[in-house]
Amino acid sequence: MRIPDFLKKLLLDRLLDLEDTLVFNQYEDQAVDWERIENLYIHIPFCRNKCLYCPYFKKTYQEQKAWFFGESLLREIELHAWWLKGKEMQSLYIGGGTPTLMTNLLIQAVEKLSALCILKNIALETTPAEINNRVLVELHHMGCNMISLGVQDFHQKYLSSIGRNYLVADTLKVIEKIGLLYYDTFNLDLIFAFPGQTIQELDKTLHMAMATPAHQLTFYPLFTFPYSTIGRFKQLKKVIMPDGLTRKRMYYHICDKLLGNGYKQVSVWSFLKGGKDKYSSVTRDTYLGLGPSAGTFTGKQFLFNTFHMNDYISLPLHNRIPTAYIMNITPNMERLFWIYWRLYETAIPLTAYKDRFGSEFCDDFNHWLWLADKLHYTVKKDNHIVLTKKGIHRVHLLQNHFSLDYINRIWTACTQDPPPSKVPLCTWCA
Ligand code: SF4
């Protein structure tokens, strides 16, 4: 089900102020509040095998291209050294692509960053096909303390259906090895709502996942970005995706099963056990993205690096940061972004809101709160506005309709050659 544009417009008109614009413009050396940034992200844009559903920016691994990319990444870090120096960074998140294809580069990048600033946590995501003993030792020496393994499912037929190139039996061995290494947090990424998947199959995956040493389980629905291979495949072959009701039943089944087995819901999609720190790839207040297509958020500006690999390779080597697009963030938009991510985490801490924005959340959003209460989406508990199970499901739907739509627009525009001078996030805000 799609939300019609007029409804989206109505909703955004109620939330946005007149000066808020949802348009990215070409970056032309505008001033950026880099010093506000407290987290780092490195994007490794290579995979040996490309999965059909994957929306992320990645190229097939090629040694020479990867070498040039590595030189540019290290240079990009140096170009930010002037404001990184002496800062304490809450986290470094390494994603992609498949970061473990380039552990030598990661070690160099982490050394370079550590010489400039303090890195409190290092989190990395990878796939079972690219983990071996050497890689695990290197990650350990690098100081990686949180790891996420993109398992996706424990049924070979579903792994094959999305182009994953490893065996379930091998995945279980990799999980066992990682479990022995005392990571602060070990997360498994899993997918649900495959075409044809039954609740019984989902249940088997849940039980197998719960039996692993992973501390956190993250279940995403199979997304179908129109520009991803599976999006095109779906259109071409008329693949029938599970309908909204089936997806909802599956989502509730996951929530009930995990909450009933000692897990705590820490985001719309993630469940954590054992008092560990949550692993998250997205909920950072401010971050600098390094690498092609990486996003940066300062709270005052939202920026994207170029999506064109040749530009990414040449710009830092010519002493230019590879930023391609910028959108200015008004105080109202900053507040809405903050609330969006707290909703994603399933609760809005009222004291934190007041400390940050200087006003009471319940006054600023009293009409919305009244509506959410009437619809049984939220309850007030321990100085938090907490989403109910129904509310969490609606946020999960909103994520699908808004974020994925926006991501789709940005990715589609930025990968054009030549890239457009403006990237509007909605049809009416161009
Ligand atoms: S899902 Fe992961 S491994 Fe597969 S293509 Fe995307 S980034 Fe690469």
pLDDT tens digits, residue range 333-386?
899 989 988 998 999 999 999 999 999 999 999 999 999 999 999 999 999 999
pLDDT recorded at residue 112: 98
**Residue with CA closest to ligand 1 atom 6:** 54
State the burial class of residue 141 (Cβ atoms within 10 Å of its Cβ: 0-12, 13-18, 19+): exposed
Of 242, 272, 302, the residue at which a domain comes to its end is 272
Pure H helices in 143-198: 156-161, 168-179
Same domain for 13 and 63: no
Same domain for 38 and 10: no
Q: Domain range holding 254?
A: 34-272
Q: Is 347 helix (H, G, I), strand (E, B) or coil?
A: strand
Average pLDDT over residues 150-161: 95
Residue 228 has pLDDT above 80, yes or no: no
**Euclidean distance between CA atoms 207 and 162, whole angstroms:** 22
**Euclidean distance between CA atoms 222 and 361, whole angstroms:** 34
Within a domain: 301? no
> 51, 153, 189: which to mutate for ligand 1, most atoms within 8 A of CB?
51
Confidence of residue 239 (pLDDT cuts 50, 70, 90): low
DSSP state, residue 279: P
Pure H helices in 260-364: 309-317, 331-344, 350-357, 361-364
Domain count for the chain: 2
Within a domain: 314? no
Q: Is 28 helix (H, G, I), strand (E, B) or coil?
A: coil
The answer to whether the CB of 50 is under 6 A from ligand 1 is yes
Same domain for 232 and 355: no
Can you read off the two tokens belonging to residue 192? 């649900």
> Interior CA angle at 253 toward 248 and 255, to 5°?
95
Confidence of residue 236 (pLDDT cuts 50, 70, 90): very low
Same domain for 109 and 1: no
Of 229, 249, 272, the residue at which a domain comes to its end is 272
Same domain for 62 and 186: yes
Confidence of residue 1 (pLDDT cuts 50, 70, 90): low
Same domain for 108 and 157: yes
Q: Is 181 helix (H, G, I), strand (E, B) or coil?
A: coil
Same domain for 249 and 190: yes
Same domain for 41 and 15: no
Same domain for 143 and 112: yes
Write out the H or E segment, with its range, that includes residue 429: none
Same domain for 7 and 152: no
Residue 261 sits in a domain of what CATH number?
3.20.20.70
377: phi then psi, degrees, rounded to nearest 5: -95, -25
Same domain for 93 and 132: yes
Of 272, 292, 319, the residue at which a domain comes to its end is 272
> 46, 49, 98: which to mutate for ligand 1, most atoms within 8 A of CB?
98
Same domain for 215 and 73: yes
Distance of CA 404 to the CA centre of its chain: 11
